[in-house]
Chain A
């Protein structure tokens, strides 16, 4: 099948790629653009490890075609830190031990980043609801919830 040209902004930089129509966005990000922070967990749209920020919305990049990202603005976990250091959600996950094996963490971070813009001052229940598209097999979620609470406080104070 003929490849198609796509062009989008990835973590602030304009990038181009040639993709087959059937190529999933997560493969383009990981294999063509070599940003392997975004993980593939289930490949069946359940786990959220592949979550990225597409035009300001959290999506599962294993369930979006790369051709659909043409002209969009994308952010992955690699785009969270800036010259000033780690992002508040990243720092909070370290402080609160919001991870064990770390496999789910990139998805958790990029989702938490967006969730705290949707709801800057969430209750615990709202955090659990807002993060429910991301599965973790290690932590039992307690420390992930704490990390999101801590990040919310930091971001509110900033």
Chain B
């Protein structure tokens, strides 16, 4: 299993990568390569040019800017796991990264590639929705910012415009009164989710001021279960409300049947993952 022929180019800077995307028709960026190369080996993708962005230092690293954590798109899963900034200020991302693939894959795979790729099984898109992240995108026309909410449009389809690069992912620091949870059901270590659900809850005393419930791998792309959120927002959350919200999560699911399960099973598992994450997030938010 070897990819079909392509020309290999190394980009030296973000500007250079954008220029090379413009100069080579149908070129693709090569990040960690752990979604792209497997697809190329199976000939699901046959880009004539690969532009390797691994050498671009400005795309790496995690820094704290006030209440915002800025994560370079080329930061690997293992770098997320070992980041002290994330362990302290956004443990949800650490928890999620620990559940992605396996150690070798996590040494190569990047958060930017995971978000940009478009497989509904990828974990980070839903995590970005739950965190209300913002993406920094650079293209031939300059820089723009785009909220995660609205970025994911379908399978292998997102709001990245022609010759644009995802440069940075910005997530808010998780503060006192805010709790999170990530539950992911998988058949074995290293597998994609049967269903997954990251949840972030903001409490005002006992009242849920805001909540974001996102879902992995139960729709053509990562989604938010907004009807479920609406049931809990503004309320003191109890078991009965969680059951009502879980019913709305179930209704929001539209998974594809495959070896991981049929539509009903996956939808019920998504509802259960959401229940667990809501409970975990509540516990944490109450401190």
A residues in contact (CB < 8 Å) with B:
1, 4, 20-24, 27, 43-46, 48, 51, 57-60, 63-65, 67-68, 111, 115, 129-133
Residue of B nearest to A52 (CB): B104
Report how far A60 CA is from B108 CA in the complex, Å: 9
Point out the residues of chain A lying under 8 angstroms from B50, CB to CB.
21
Identify which of B1, B7, B78, B102 contacts A132 (C-beta below 8 A): B102
A4 to B50, CA, bound (A): 14
Q: Which residues of B contact A44 (CB under 8 A)?
A: 1, 38, 41
Q: What mask results when residues 39 to 80 of chain B are scored 1 for a CB within 8 Å of chain A, else 0?
A: 011000000001010100000000000000000000000100
Q: Which of B195-240 contact A (CB under 8 A)?
A: none
Complex Cα–Cα for A21 and B50 (A): 9
| Of B41, B54, B190, the contact of A68 (CB 8 Å cutoff) | B54
User: Which B residues touch A45, using CB under 8 A?
Assistant: 34, 37-38, 105
A89 CB to closest chain B CB (Å) equals 16
Residues of chain A contacted by B2 (CB below 8 angstroms): 22-24, 27
Q: Which of B1-42 contact A (CB under 8 A)?
A: 1-8, 30, 33-34, 37-38, 40-41
The 10 A-B pairs of least Cβ separation, nearest first, read A133-B102, A21-B8, A133-B104, A132-B189, A57-B107, A43-B1, A22-B3, A1-B5, A133-B103, A60-B104
Q: Is the CB of B7 within 8 A of A133?
A: no
Please, which residue of chain A has its CB at the minimum distance from the CB of B2? A22
Of chain A, the residue at the smallest CB distance from B40 is A22
CB distance B108 to A64 under 8 Å?
A: yes
Known: A59-B108, A133-B190. A21 touches B102 (CB 8 A): no
Question: With a CB–CB cut-off of 8 A, which chain A residues contact B101?
Answer: 133
CB distance from A1 to the nearest CB of B (A): 5
Bound together, the chains give a CA A59 to CA B33 distance in angstroms of 12
Point out residues on B near A: beta carbons under 8 Å.
1-8, 30, 33-34, 37-38, 40-41, 50, 52, 54, 78, 101-105, 107-108, 189-190
Point out the residues of chain A lying under 8 angstroms from B108, CB to CB: 59-60, 63-64
Interface pair B7/A21, CB less than 8 Å apart: yes
B190 nearest in chain A by CB position: A132
Q: Is the CB of A60 within 8 A of B6?
A: no
Output the residue of A4, A22, A64, A130 with the most chain B CB within 10 A.
A22
CB B28 to nearest CB in A, in angstroms, measures 13
- CB < 8 Å: which of B40, B41, B102 contacts A43? B41
Residues in chain B near residue A48, CB distance under 8 A: 102, 104
Complex Cα spacing A133 to B188, Å:
11
Nearest residue, chain A, Cβ from B3 = A22
Give CA–CA (A60, B102) in the complex, Å: 11
Residues on B with C-beta less than 8 A from A1 are: 5-7
Rounded to whole Å, the gap between the CB of A67 and the closest CB of chain B is 5
A133→B105 CA distance, assembly (Å): 8
Whether A59 pairs with B104 at a CB distance below 8 angstroms is: yes
Residues of A within 8 A of B190 (CB): 46, 132-133
Cross-chain contact B34 with A22 (CB below 8 angstroms) = no
Give the shortest distance, in Å, between A39 (CB) and chain B (any CB).
14
Whether B4 and A132, one on each chain, are in contact in the complex, defined by CB atoms closer than 8 angstroms, is: no
C-alpha gap A58/B50 in the complex (Å): 23
Q: In the complex, which of the residues A20, A48, A51, A59 has the most CB atoms of chain B within 10 Å of its own CB atom?
A: A59
Contacts A45-B38, A46-B190 given; indicate if A22 touches B103 (C-beta within 8 A). no
**Which residue from chain B places its CB closest to the CB of A51 in the assembled complex?**
B104
Bound state CA distance, A5 and B8, in angstroms? 12
B8: nearest residue on chain A (CB-CB)? Answer: A21
| Closest residue of B by beta carbon distance from A55 | B107
A-B contact pairs, 30 of them (CB 8 A): A21-B5, A21-B7, A27-B2, A43-B41, A44-B1, A44-B38, A44-B41, A45-B34, A45-B38, A48-B102, A51-B104, A57-B78, A58-B103, A58-B104, A60-B108, A63-B33, A63-B34, A63-B37, A63-B38, A63-B108, A64-B33, A68-B54, A111-B103, A129-B103, A131-B103, A132-B102, A132-B189, A132-B190, A133-B102, A133-B104
